[in-house]
């Protein structure tokens, strides 16, 4: 029996880049939540479990099986055996998914250009691994950003650079400036990663004008846009915006459609649309085939049972999730509205002089709101607020690659009840009031 591998601890036994990522955000917040379970948490962007409808899992799985028996004439036992076996790397529900993407997202795609991945995180990983050269290529990411891509790039030693969140024309200019800067250094911006709809963590949405400008920039400088769409169905004002991919006439967009927020996270499915062709050593390849080759050495294939459940859900609902998402969207809007109402009440500038320099954005969708305060927010503030005031938030500085967000905190309203929102904002106001008055 081996009791000890090394006698002296040494950094040489692990990847040193693990320690270049900065704050372990999720680990820290989970630790705080475990230590103070009675605290109301605005930290997690988890979807509301009351909409999961887990009973539909077996129903949809059976519907998928019976549809294969009925439409394809395959024996039921063979269908079930196939679901338990290793399967196609690209996926087994690509035809159903292509119909869904056309009906709900206005994206026309050949089923063979779709990969069903193990969540958006795998799609990001295989996309970067397939496309990017560590020495010569650069990835541009909005800052602040979803930490899944920034930390993956850092731990795997890819060159990643920040750009402003695309909120106006100057943001587009900043991308072009960064591209030209790296061209002078003999390097190429290969990927620009964006969340156009209700970005995590800011809640910002890219205007239609800026979507067209970003696509024009991709056409001019020949880079790939990774469009991560996890929150697009949760729009609370006006109409749903067209995706970048639906506007993409030049095959510059790789589309990532996570199902974690619209169905449930444990499904672990993402719909990855890769329509590009690439030339390698005078041969033309479908980029989706090369992505599948990479995926084959990462997860081999995505669990067929989970795919079958989602395939059955699409079949039962005529390849559209709009009616299913309507109730969830309405519920999330009620929470957003309650959060805004509570902030207006407990941070009322007319009755609370200490709240004079406190403000917040008005998210038109998504799961997040940003609160600006007149002091620097630290990890110690998170712990003290959880311990004393029984409420948890996330400092915005946790999401920045560089400096930024020091005077901001993110409030996630997706996984709290309206009553918890009222009580949580009241508790948070007491904490912030004490900080302001003791400055």
How many CB atoms sit inside 10 A of residue 279's CB? 8
By the 10 Å C-beta count (0-12 exposed, 13-18 middle, 19+ buried), 264 is classed as middle
Domain range for residue 213? 56-320
Task: Give a yes or no: residue 4 inside a domain.
Answer: no
Decide which of 268, 291, 320 is a domain's last residue.
320
Identify whether residues 228 and 154 lie together within a single domain: yes
Q: Of 320, 346, 364, which closes a domain?
A: 320
Question: In this structure, what DSSP letter does residue 51 have?
Answer: G
Q: What tens-digit pLDDT sequence spans the chain (439 residues)? A: 334 445 565 556 788 888 777 777 778 888 898 899 999 999 989 999 999 988 889 999 999 999 999 988 999 999 999 999 999 999 999 999 999 999 999 999 999 999 999 999 999 999 999 999 999 999 999 999 999 999 999 999 999 999 999 888 889 999 999 999 999 999 999 999 999 999 999 999 999 999 999 999 999 999 999 999 999 999 999 889 999 999 999 999 999 999 999 999 999 999 999 999 999 999 999 999 999 999 999 999 999 999 999 999 999 999 999 999 999 999 999 999 999 999 999 999 999 999 999 999 999 999 999 999 999 999 999 999 999 999 999 999 999 998 999 999 999 999 999 999 999 999 999 999 999 998 8
Sequence-ordered list of residues with C-beta below 8 angstroms from that of 71, at least 6 positions apart, any chain = none
Q: Are residues 262 and 188 in the same domain?
A: yes
Single out the residue in 279, 302, 320 at which a domain terminates. 320
**Is there a single domain that holds both residue 125 and residue 205?**
yes
Residue 172 forms part of a structural domain = yes
* Backbone φ, ψ for residue 403 (5° rounding): -70, 150
Q: How far apart are CA 400 and CA 397, in angstroms?
A: 5
From the list 167, 128, 162, 158, the residue with the least C-alpha distance to 145 is 162
Which pLDDT does position 3 carry in this prediction? 44
| Number of folded domains that form the chain | 2
Measured distance CA(132)–CA(130) in Å, rounded: 6
CATH number at residue 427: 3.90.1150.10
Do 159 and 138 meet the contact criterion of CB atoms below 8 Å apart?
yes
Query: In this structure, is residue 330 part of a structural domain?
Result: yes
In a shared domain, residues 336 and 368: yes
């Amino acid at each position: 029996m081996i009791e000890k591998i090394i006698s002296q601890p040494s950094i040489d036994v692990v990847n040193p880049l693990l320690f270049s990522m900065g704050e372990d955000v999720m680990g820290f917040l989970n630790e705080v939540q475990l230590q103070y379970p009675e605290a109301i948490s605005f930290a997690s962007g988890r979807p509301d479990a009351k909409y999961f409808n887990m009973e539909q899992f077996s129903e949809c799985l059976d519907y998928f099986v019976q549809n294969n028996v009925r439409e394809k004439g395959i024996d039921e036992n063979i269908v079930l055996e196939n679901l338990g076996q290793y399967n196609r790397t690209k996926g087994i529900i690509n035809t159903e998914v292509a119909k869904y993407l056309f009906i709900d997202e206005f994206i026309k795609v050949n089923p063979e250009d779709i990969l069903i991945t193990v969540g958006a995180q795998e799609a990001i990983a295989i996309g970067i691994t397939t496309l990017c050269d560590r020495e010569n290529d650069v990835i541009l990411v909005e800052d602040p950003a979803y930490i899944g891509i920034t930390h993956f790039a850092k731990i795997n030693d890819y060159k990643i650079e920040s750009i402003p969140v695309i909120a106006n024309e100057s943001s587009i200019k900043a991308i072009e400036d960064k591209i030209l800067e790296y061209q002078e250094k003999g390097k190429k911006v290969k990927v620009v990663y964006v969340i156009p709809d209700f970005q995590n963590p800011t809640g910002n949405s890219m205007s239609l004008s800026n979507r067209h400008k970003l696509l024009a920039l991709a056409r001019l400088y020949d880079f790939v846009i990774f469009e991560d769409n996890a929150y697009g169905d949760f729009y609370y004002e006006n109409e749903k915006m067209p995706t970048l991919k639906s506007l993409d006439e030049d095959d510059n967009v790789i589309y990532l459609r996570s199902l974690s927020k619209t169905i449930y996270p444990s499904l672990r499915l993402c719909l990855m649309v890769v329509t590009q062709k690439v030339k390698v050593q005078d041969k033309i390849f479908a980029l989706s085939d090369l992505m599948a080759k990479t995926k084959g050495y990462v997860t081999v294939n995505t669990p067929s049972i989970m795919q079958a459940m989602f395939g059955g859900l699409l079949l039962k609902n005529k390849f559209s999730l709009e009616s299913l998402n309507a109730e969830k969207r309405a519920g999330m809007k009620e929470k957003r509205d309650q959060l805004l109402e509570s902030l207006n009440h407990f941070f009322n500038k007319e009755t609370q002089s200490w709240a004079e320099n406190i403000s917040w954005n008005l998210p038109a969708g998504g799961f997040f709101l940003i609160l600006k305060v007149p002091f620097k927010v630290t990890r110690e503030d998170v712990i003290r607020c959880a311990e004393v005031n029984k409420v948890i938030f996330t400092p915005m500085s946790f999401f920045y690659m560089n400096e930024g967000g020091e005077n901001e905190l993110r409030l996630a309203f997706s996984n709290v009840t309206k009553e918890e929102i009222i009580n949580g904002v009241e508790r948070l106001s007491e904490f912030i009031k004490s900080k302001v008055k003791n400055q």
